[in-house]
Amino acid sequence: MENFFEDFRDNLLEQYDTCPAYKYLCDNQGFDPNIHLNKEEDMESVPFIATTLFKKSAQMFTSLLRVPLETIDKWTVSSSTSGDPSIVGRRKCDLMQMERFNELNRGIFQPGSSQECVFYPEPEVMKSYKSEMIYGKRTESYMGNLLDSFHFNEDAIFFVKQKGNELMVDLGEFKRVIKTNDGLSHHLSLRGSTPLIYNAVNELKDEMEPVKLGANVLVHTGGGGWDGKKGTITMDAAIQRKDFVECVSQFLGIPEENFIDSYSFTENSFPITGHYSPKYKDYLFHIPKWGQVIIRDIKTLKPLHNPGDIGFIQMLNAYGTSTFAGASIIVDDIGQIVSMDECPDCKEKCMTIKIIGRVKGAEAKGCGATLNVEGEKQ
């Protein structure tokens, strides 16, 4: 992981050689990476695969493998509100890369340094939840794989428990933990699903006074759910990031600066993480040097470069996609460029974006047409 462009080029050339479906896409667009991918600027012309092609209903997921089906270790699947998950073949080597990314983010995630309180089930529970066999390989939730790669402390507390076929939040346990730590400024990390944390805090608001957990607490959300939908959870409305941070910050007594959010999706390999900026009233996501993001115009799909520009998020992966055609992926989530080279809040030298969310309604239908694939049915 020294030179992103060189490594990305190697990954893409191999994908071109080993995945006939991807080669077909490239040939159709007159793109041959052996000829047309020579310098960093060329990365914008690399053909991308829409995440919708990985949907079960598209029946393409076996064609998007780069290795023989019998050599994959598992299918990682997205949590799906519609019953039409993405299905991505992975081997252990790709999953280990996810652990390496977590290690690289150690400074931000602060794993192992504190009492961890997690609004997800234990990794093993999450991985096997609704697991099934497809072509003789087990499916596991991508979130379970992410949790697995995180290596939580032995004494981490998982507030989400499986009861029969349902996942339930143990609100009593959460209440006990925050009461026990009230006013003590302990090093805690509160991690997990945004809607679950938001719901839990809103429910406790009705039955107890706010607490003050202090400035040593990290609130690390991940796995999406800002649109109010996550797996089987459906909320009345989308969650505004500012409302979430202000509400949780006030009720638990944690500074707004201590909130971070990680973003990724099943077809991608590296997470991007944003820190909340009270000034911008949003999370500012830093693009790490081991990945690349291109924001593309929603109608024309042309790459955009100016602060304020809004479009689809495309991820370029140099690492961790050796099993499937994940080197260049576009997702129907919308991002906004904040800066191409420096975070305006903390001044780190990196591309910085905001995540706006999923397109809705008529606009979404237009996007399905733009991406030339069927959108997820709402």
For 278, 311, 365, the CA distances from 178, given in Å and listed in that order, are: 24, 39, 44
Closest approach, Cβ 284 to Zn ion, in A, equals: 5
Q: Which residue has the tokens 């040939």?
A: 27
| Residues found in the chain | 378
Q: Residue 227: what residue type?
A: D
For residue 167, what is the enclosing H or E element? strand 166-169
- Pair of tokens at residue 47: 């053909």
Closest approach, Cβ 107 to Zn ion, in A, equals: 13
Q: Which is nearer to Zn ion, 332 or 345 (CB)?
A: 345
Q: Residue 297: what residue type?
A: D
The count of chain residues that interact with Zn ion, using the rule CB under 5 A, is 5
Tell me which stretch binds Zn ion (CB under 5 A): 97-105, 197-205, 313-321, 345-353: 345-353
Q: How many CB atoms lie within 10 A of CB 87?
A: 24
- Pair of tokens at residue 145: 């794989």
Q: Pick left, alpha or beta for residue 301 (phi over 0 → left; psi -120 to 50 → alpha; otherwise beta).
A: left
Q: How many CB atoms lie within 10 A of CB 176?
A: 12
346 binds Zn ion (CB under 5 A): yes
Q: Using DSSP, state whether 196 is helix, strand or coil.
A: helix
Closest approach, Cβ 120 to Zn ion, in A, equals: 26
Q: Residue 87: what residue type?
A: I
Closest approach, Cβ 277 to Zn ion, in A, equals: 7
Tell me which stretch binds Zn ion (CB under 5 A): 32-40, 88-96, 135-143, 281-289: 281-289
Using CB positions, name the residue nearest to Zn ion: 343
Q: Which is nearer to Zn ion, 343 or 373 (CB)?
A: 343
Closest approach, Cβ 260 to Zn ion, in A, equals: 10
Q: Which of positions 10-49 make contact with Zn ion (CB under 5 A)? A: none
Tell me which stretch binds Zn ion (CB under 5 A): 28-36, 104-112, 209-217, 278-286: 278-286
Secondary structure letter of residue 3 according to DSSP: -
343 binds Zn ion (CB under 5 A): yes
Closest approach, Cβ 345 to Zn ion, in A, equals: 5
Q: Which is nearer to Zn ion, 39 or 279 (CB)?
A: 279
CA distance 140 to 121: 14
Q: Using DSSP, state whether 12 is helix, strand or coil.
A: helix
Closest approach, Cβ 276 to Zn ion, in A, equals: 10
Tell me which stretch binds Zn ion (CB under 5 A): 47-55, 184-192, 222-230, 344-352: 344-352
Tell me which stretch binds Zn ion (CB under 5 A): 92-100, 107-115, 283-291, 369-377: 283-291
Please report, as ranges, the residues that interact with Zn ion according to CB under 5 A.
Answer: 284, 343, 345-346, 348
